[in-house]
Amino acid sequence: MIGIEESRGNIYEDLEIPNANEMRIKSQLCAKIGEIIKARHLTQSQASEILGLSQPKLSEMLRGKFRGISEAKMMECLSHLGRDVQIVVKPAPRSRKEGRIEVVFA
């Protein structure tokens, strides 16, 4: 019988992958980049030109192989695709000792 375990909300953390939070954020940014490319009916070749990435690098990123691409580069890609990207720093609630990093799409 296979046991079922409830996720902690981050698959990378559940799988005990190093830098789990960074990987979760990158996956969210990558998914949004892919959504925009699809919605604009761009080929990977056209999108790679807009984003300043090689087509093979873009292809790998869209297939989830994004370890070699920084979060900053992904945010730059979103900007090239016509999206405003904001980084908001605010105090964490007193109920938490540490802040958290999250991606929110409007």
Domain architecture of the chain: domains with CATH: 11-80 (1.10.260.40)
> φ, ψ for residue 33 (rounded to 5)?
-60, -45
Task: Note whether 98 and 92 are within 8 A (CB).
Answer: yes
- pLDDT tens column, 29-79: 999 999 999 999 999 999 999 999 999 999 999 999 988 899 999 999 999
- pLDDT tens column, 27-40: 999 999 999 999 99
> Which value, to the nearest 10 degrees, does the dihedral of the CA atoms of residues 57, 29, 73, 99 take?
-140
CA 92 to centroid of chain Cα atoms: 22
